[in-house]
Structure 1
Amino acid sequence: MRAVKQKSPYFLLASMIVAVAIFVTVSPPMFVDYLESKTFDIRTLLRGERSVRPDIAIVAIDDKTLEQLDLNIWTREYMAALVDKLALMQPKVIGIDYLYQLPEMNKGLQSVRELNLAYQALPQADKAFLGKLQTLEQLNDVDAALIRAVKKAGNVVLAFAPHVFEAMSSVDSKQVSQLPEYMPWYAFMLTKPGPAYKPVVAQTALTPFEGLAEAAASIGHVYSLYDQDGAIRWEPLYVKIGPDIYPSFGLEIARIFKELRQQDVKVITGDRIILGEKIDLPTDISGRILINYPGKRKRFTTYSAINILEGTIPVSELKEKIVLIGATALGTGDIHVTPFTELAGVEKQATVVENILSLNYMVKEEMTTLIDIGAIICFAFVMALVVPYFGAFASGLFFGFLLIVYLGLTQYAFVAHNIWVHVVVPALTLSILYTTLTTYRFFTEENRARHIRSIFSSYTTEKVVDEMIEHPEMLKLGGVRKNVTVLFSDVRGFTTFSENHTPEEVVEVLNEFLAAMTDVIMHWNGTLDKFVGDEIMAFWGAPGEQENHAELATHCAMHMLHRLYELQEKWESEGKEKLDIGIGLNSGEVVVGNIGSESKKMDYTIIGDAVNLGARVEALTRNFNVHLMITEFTLAEISHLLPDENGKGKEGGLGHLQPRRLDEVKVKGKQKPVVVYELVDLELDSRPL
């Protein structure tokens, strides 16, 4: 199958497909997001599991712990004991992934307190008995024990749970429920607005009770952002509650591990978080990062809480490490779906901490959106070039190759650089491009010759059209440089003629004149460019190759004068006023092609200085009172066909023509004067026009 040279329809179709694809990329529908999320999971599974930092450990409240302690739920008493044990092992930071919203008031503690108050009110109270009551009160006050343990450890991060009512939105601070007075102390101290910011907003939060919060080193939110399929792929590093912005649980653990103060953390909302001088965390416009899960369960070193309580783990095992305490027992409810499997909440928090400290999270930001758009545009450009040149089978092979290469590159970016580049929209766009463009070519190839004929039959002769159909490589539309000869012809005194005649008479004479001149131009295989009122523009040398374009144009100009004589004799016999013309010829390099608007109107025409000079030369015929004027450039093209210095003409040339130098004229836009000549036809020179 021959190559299709008219590629503009293919680019138009490709542009339409690209426009839709870019819109879907920027504002993806729900089903596209769903499919793309699934490709993220597939690519994660194809990548496989990866190693993690050894300085992050998990102490699990697992089934083994609850069974050996004969517990249904994990109590504050055992949490206090666990924190005390861990503190002795000297970890750098302890994170408790449990919520302690309210003080615990059990019946035993309440009874002892009431008895204590009643006994103190007696006139004579036994101090020894009163001491025993106070000891019983302390033994039953599990909150006091937990506060003491947390305060003694000095490096404990607690969790709070924001009630996010509308993600990536904004909220009036007046609508925010009252938070404890201590909460603003844990908000970011240094924040700066980024270029775009759509925060994750909470109206209120479940916060640790005041005594416990004041004993902690810090607190951070544990809000989990679920995707449409219920999986967790994103981690909001901060949430907005009222006027303040609060860090995540994992971010605060990382900060304390790095021994940074609150004022050492700078947040550029919707852009990045800077921890100290070494950790720079780019985020999306909602302050989120894309979690890079290392694999299935227990990728991090995990210890059972009962082993810590019983002291069977060597003290050195957790020294200077990050320790996260969380529930992993069945039925605890803190289980999340991830691309690999279901993970306990504490394992997700450990992953977030590891991602932050190692800067090893996935990336899907505006940059990756630009990559998607760039891929779509490249696909469109390449397919619009390939499909017109090859058949369906060869184009199909190229399509398959391109798709495999793209999928391979996206997987490489995913594995090697943690970049999530979209697959669904670009791959679907590539498929639609191949199908649409191949179908279009199938239905339009058989009409190619008819299409060329319909376009150029009004420009040039049947002979030139047939030549272009036979050799379509001659037809280079869209702007190519060629050496041509341009002809301009204009009716002299046409304005006066129009004023002295009725519109019907003007149109009748003008149509007769233009029809006759058009026949002459076609006879000499010229390309008729346009009529501008009474002006005619034609050229030779395009679209088909014409080595003798200047000779053809010259013959045509002289023939037009001969034809004008015949018309003048006819008009004179009919008692009509005669028309007179001036003709200008110029040769040179121009840009030829379809010029205009693809969506509105295009003309096959030529543009350039050579065209402008031709028009100005035609206008100069009035100044010199001649009928045919050529430039030195056209003369150089035909000089070998003109009579020599002895007046002897060349056989088969232009021996009946005689150039006469008129002057050097300064033409607007040209620094060097142009020499112009009158071209005299010795056969017509004696006849007045």
Structure 2
Amino acid sequence: MRHRLWDMTRDRARSLGRWLWQSLSKRFVSFVCLGLFLALRVWDPTPLEMLRVRTFDLYQNFHPREPTPQPIVIVDLDEESLAKVGQWPWPRTVVSDMVANICDSGAAAIGFDIVFAEPDRMSPAKIAGALHGLTPETRDDLMKLPSNDQVLADTLKRCRVVLGQAGYFRIIGHESTGIIKTPIAEIGGDPRPFLLNFIDMVRNIPVLDKAGKGHGMFTITPETDSVVRRVPALLRVGESIFPTLSIEILRVATGQKAIAAKSDNLGLKGVVVAKKLVPTDNHGRIWVHYAPSDPKRYVSAKDTLNGSLAKDFFSGKLVFIGTSAAGLLDIKSTPVNDAMPGVEVHAQLLETILSGDYLTRPGNAIGAEFSVALLSGLLMIFLMPLLGARWTLVLFVVMTGVLTSGSWYLYVEKGALYDVTFATLSTFLLYGLLTYANYSSEEAQRKQVRTAFSHYLSPAMVEKLADDPSSLALGGESKDMTLLFCDIRGFTTISEQFDAEGLTSFINRFLTPMTDIIMSNGGTVDKYMGDAIMAFWNAPIDDPDHARHASIAGMEMMKTLRDLNTEWEAAAKEEGGKYIPVNIGVGINSGSCCVGNMGSDQRFDYSVLGDDVNLASRLEGQSKTYGVDIVIGENTEQLIDDMAILELDLIQVKGKTVPVRIFTLHGDEEMETSGAFQSQMSRHKYLLQTYRAQDWEKAKNFLSECRNLDKEERLG
């Protein structure tokens, strides 16, 4: 007994060890994948960044900035203006008239989203040099007139005008001397290493450059997907720093002499202009919080020239001069509009600054997103084995909803951009990995179960067990079971009729239908022992009615044997051979047994051990002694007391110290209620009484009556 307990403990320990190893192996792979996901987040490749910013685009699409009254107007060189005045570039005198009209209307500041990089070819001196056949007097008169550029410069000098200029990624040969730069104070460190750096810049011609009150960069650098989300507040050309057009307009309009760049060792934090701190990302870019495009922002350039606007139309306004004409190639894609004029991007940036309705990536955003991804991944790894795929998916959906709602709330209420796509995607990929790993493991278990039990159980039972491998305890367990032993009587005499091949064929012909009967009644074939079969019920699959199913199998085996004998008798007559009827005995017993994998480390079988197993084998041997087909134990009789059962005796069996009461199974429940069986049972009762009273003559008489009645009614 002590050795058996030790073996059971060892098997359970091995089973637990295998489970722990498989669980840790799956989790190890999951931990590795989680680590790779987090490393990917640290690396932050372009596709991952695009996924993040496109999520922020969705936020702006669903909830753009609320338009508020702002003193910003766009003077648009639109298609109508080009049709009215002529193709661009217009003569500088026309531009001068436009600027003068805007300035005289009371504009607070004017900014050009245009650069005048070349002298006007329509200046009088240029015309005098280009036209032939002019009289000397006419040529001299033209040469004495001021150039169109000078006319525009004179207008610029009396107005608050910011001239546009653009960065360039290659040297274009402009003079580097005489560059006019806005004073920029550096707070906290040198911002240059973090700024977008250009090799050269496109400037206005010197006469205009000197006349402007400010100089702003209108360069817009779309992101990888060509969408403009962020505009540089400051740009770098060589070692010089220049403000963007919107920042410079605000500086000029408020009369400030300089702006300040605030930074630390991680990058820029913001730009100070007009006593306002404008937050930027580490590279000095401002997230534009777009509002829906509104035609009211625009006024046609032709209307500034023909006097159709009110005299104070531009009073106190910040005016951008740019173009929406498709032919002038200044159309940008933004989160809220696939085709927005570049000048409106600058205008919306300035609206964002004036309204204070910023979009920012807080300094803790990356750390928070990393932490959420880590915690979500760990939850998925540890909860998946506990909750299963279905409930873990529910948890994932709930968690995604909470994270998305939190990110949305922070965007709407705080203008803070927190990304949940990475955490959600990485967690979902982990979920998929764990689900696949569990599926693969379950498939391997199913395959193992099918392989292990395909010879012991019916195909339907094997599939049922494969669908729920958790119901299988391979390490050994104690269960109430029913055992069946079946053996051919007089097998030695029968075997003498056959050669080796014939004997094998005979045994297979006998064992195959008997095995089918056992399996069809939910039994497990433990082993074949020559001409004998050992089977059991209630393992590996639970069978609450195991005693009844085993008893039915025993009766069906007897019926099948009669059919086999008929077949063998006919075959013997046809071949002229000797026919010996085949008789079998069946022993059935129920009780507590130890069932599981039995054997060595190299080889083992799923089998059963216990005193009740040995008793079942002994009962099969008693069937010949008492001249009955099926002998059952007392435990089995108590479980199927509604079937046709007769008590046989109280005997002492080998290995038992107390007598064992045995019974014979005659038939099913229908037979038990029949009049013939009730009559038989009444006589059998007297038989036992006279037998135990040792009244042998009366006992013989009752025995003879019972046998005759059995033959007449064909019972048993």
* Structure 2 match to 1:103: 119
* Structure 2 match to 1:425: 422
My pick for the range that moved more, 305-314 or 322-331, is 305-314
SS of the equivalent of 1:246 reads strand
Tell me whether 1:158 sits opposite 2:148 in the alignment. Answer: no
| Cα distance change on mapping 1:186 and 1:366 into 2, 3 Å | same
* Structure 2 match to 1:63: 79
Candidates 18, 31, 34, aligned match of 2:34: 18
**TM-superposed deviation, 1:94:** 0.5
Q: Distance in 2 between matches of 1:373 and 1:5?
A: 29
Tell me whether 1:93 sits opposite 2:109 in the alignment. Answer: yes
Map of 1:25-104 to 2, 5 A cutoff?
25-48=41-64, 50-71=66-87, 73-104=89-120
SS of the equivalent of 1:272 reads strand
SS of the equivalent of 1:16 reads helix
**TM-superposed deviation, 1:188:** 2.4
Q: Distance in 1 between matches of 2:87 and 2:441?
A: 78
Q: Distance in 2 between matches of 1:238 and 1:195?
A: 9
Q: Distance in 2 between matches of 1:110 and 1:433?
A: 71
Map of 1:352-431 to 2, 5 A cutoff?
352-364=349-361, 366-431=363-428
Candidates 270, 280, 284, aligned match of 1:283: 280
SS of the equivalent of 1:392 reads helix
**TM-superposed deviation, 1:143:** 0.6
**TM-superposed deviation, 1:265:** 2.6
SS of the equivalent of 1:432 reads helix
Candidates 285, 290, 293, aligned match of 1:293: 290
Q: Distance in 1 between matches of 2:175 and 2:407?
A: 45
Candidates 156, 181, 202, aligned match of 1:206: 202
Deviations 1:372-423, CA, capped at 9 Å, x for gaps: 2122012123223432321221111111111222223223333332233234
Deviations 1:310-334, CA, capped at 9 Å, x for gaps: 2222233321121111111231111
Name the aligned partner's letter for residue 255 of structure 2: E
Tell me whether 1:257 sits opposite 2:253 in the alignment. Answer: yes
Deviations 1:251-283, CA, capped at 9 Å, x for gaps: 111222333211x53443731334257422232
Tell me whether 1:142 sits opposite 2:139 in the alignment. Answer: no
Name the aligned partner's letter for residue 408 of structure 1: S
Q: Distance in 1 between matches of 2:276 and 2:206?
A: 31
Candidates 237, 257, 278, aligned match of 2:233: 237
Map of 1:483-632 to 2, 5 A cutoff?
none
Q: Distance in 2 between matches of 1:428 and 1:407?
A: 12
- Kindly indicate whether the alpha-carbon contact (under 8 Å) linking 2:73 and 2:319 is maintained by their aligned counterparts in 1: yes
Q: Distance in 1 between matches of 2:388 and 2:261?
A: 58
Q: Distance in 1 between matches of 2:107 and 2:124?
A: 34
| Cα distance change on mapping 1:316 and 1:215 into 2, 3 Å | same
Higher RCO, 1 or 2 (CA under 8 Å, sep at least 6)?
Answer: 1
| Cα distance change on mapping 1:102 and 1:277 into 2, 3 Å | closer
* Structure 1 match to 2:550: none
* Structure 2 match to 1:182: 178
- Kindly indicate whether the alpha-carbon contact (under 8 Å) linking 1:161 and 1:206 is maintained by their aligned counterparts in 2: yes
- Kindly indicate whether the alpha-carbon contact (under 8 Å) linking 1:273 and 1:280 is maintained by their aligned counterparts in 2: yes
Deviations 1:512-563, CA, capped at 9 Å, x for gaps: xxxxxxxxxxxxxxxxxxxxxxxxxxxxxxxxxxxxxxxxxxxxxxxxxxxx
* Structure 2 match to 1:512: none
- Kindly indicate whether the alpha-carbon contact (under 8 Å) linking 1:14 and 1:381 is maintained by their aligned counterparts in 2: no
Q: Distance in 2 between matches of 1:356 and 1:296?
A: 17
Name the aligned partner's letter for residue 116 of structure 2: Y
Q: Distance in 2 between matches of 1:427 and 1:284?
A: 24
Q: Distance in 1 between matches of 2:185 and 2:135?
A: 49
Deviations 1:123-147, CA, capped at 9 Å, x for gaps: xxxxxx79x955x446572111110
Name the aligned partner's letter for residue 370 of structure 1: G
* Structure 2 match to 1:307: 303
Q: Higher Cα Rg: structure 1 or 2? A: 2
SS of the equivalent of 1:317 reads coil
Q: Distance in 2 between matches of 1:439 and 1:431?
A: 12
- Kindly indicate whether the alpha-carbon contact (under 8 Å) linking 1:54 and 1:301 is maintained by their aligned counterparts in 2: no
- Kindly indicate whether the alpha-carbon contact (under 8 Å) linking 2:92 and 2:152 is maintained by their aligned counterparts in 1: yes
| Cα distance change on mapping 1:440 and 1:268 into 2, 3 Å | same
> TM-score, structure 2 length as denominator?
0.54
Tell me whether 1:345 sits opposite 2:345 in the alignment. Answer: no
Q: Distance in 2 between matches of 1:295 and 1:106?
A: 39
Structure 1: 5+ residue stretches without partners: 121-128, 166-174, 449-465, 471-689
SS of the equivalent of 2:409 reads helix
| Cα distance change on mapping 1:254 and 1:20 into 2, 3 Å | farther
**TM-superposed deviation, 1:192:** 4.7
SS of the equivalent of 1:268 reads strand
- Kindly indicate whether the alpha-carbon contact (under 8 Å) linking 1:254 and 1:357 is maintained by their aligned counterparts in 2: no
SS of the equivalent of 1:331 reads helix
- Kindly indicate whether the alpha-carbon contact (under 8 Å) linking 1:180 and 1:210 is maintained by their aligned counterparts in 2: no
Query: Whose helix fraction is larger, Structure 1's or Structure 2's?
Result: 2
**TM-superposed deviation, 1:107:** 7.4
Structure 2: 5+ residue stretches without partners: 1-18, 446-472, 478-716
Map of 1:472-491 to 2, 5 A cutoff?
none
Q: Distance in 2 between matches of 1:312 and 1:318?
A: 13
**TM-superposed deviation, 1:428:** 1.1
- Quote the RMSD (CA, aligned, Å): 3.6
| Cα distance change on mapping 1:425 and 1:138 into 2, 3 Å | farther
Q: Distance in 1 between matches of 2:396 and 2:187?
A: 48
SS of the equivalent of 2:403 reads helix
* Structure 1 match to 2:215: 219
SS of the equivalent of 2:52 reads helix
> TM-score, structure 1 length as denominator?
0.56
| Cα distance change on mapping 1:406 and 1:147 into 2, 3 Å | same
Q: Distance in 2 between matches of 1:77 and 1:176?
A: 27
Deviations 1:169-188, CA, capped at 9 Å, x for gaps: xxxxxx99664433253352
Name the aligned partner's letter for residue 258 of structure 1: T
Name the aligned partner's letter for residue 21 of structure 1: F
* Structure 1 match to 2:515: none
Name the aligned partner's letter for residue 159 of structure 1: G
Deviations 1:556-597, CA, capped at 9 Å, x for gaps: xxxxxxxxxxxxxxxxxxxxxxxxxxxxxxxxxxxxxxxxxx
Deviations 1:270-301, CA, capped at 9 Å, x for gaps: 31334257422232232112222212353x62
Q: Distance in 2 between matches of 1:196 and 1:185?
A: 15
Name the aligned partner's letter for residue 432 of structure 1: L
| Cα distance change on mapping 1:376 and 1:236 into 2, 3 Å | same
Q: Distance in 1 between matches of 2:118 and 2:249?
A: 23
| Cα distance change on mapping 1:92 and 1:217 into 2, 3 Å | same
**TM-superposed deviation, 1:447:** 11
Q: Distance in 1 between matches of 2:380 and 2:191?
A: 36
Candidates 331, 334, 347, aligned match of 2:330: 334
* Structure 2 match to 1:271: 268
Name the aligned partner's letter for residue 145 of structure 1: V
* Structure 2 match to 1:593: none
**TM-superposed deviation, 1:96:** 1.1
SS of the equivalent of 1:239 reads strand
How many residue pairs are counted as aligned between the two chains?
A: 427
| Cα distance change on mapping 1:196 and 1:447 into 2, 3 Å | farther
| Cα distance change on mapping 1:158 and 1:72 into 2, 3 Å | closer
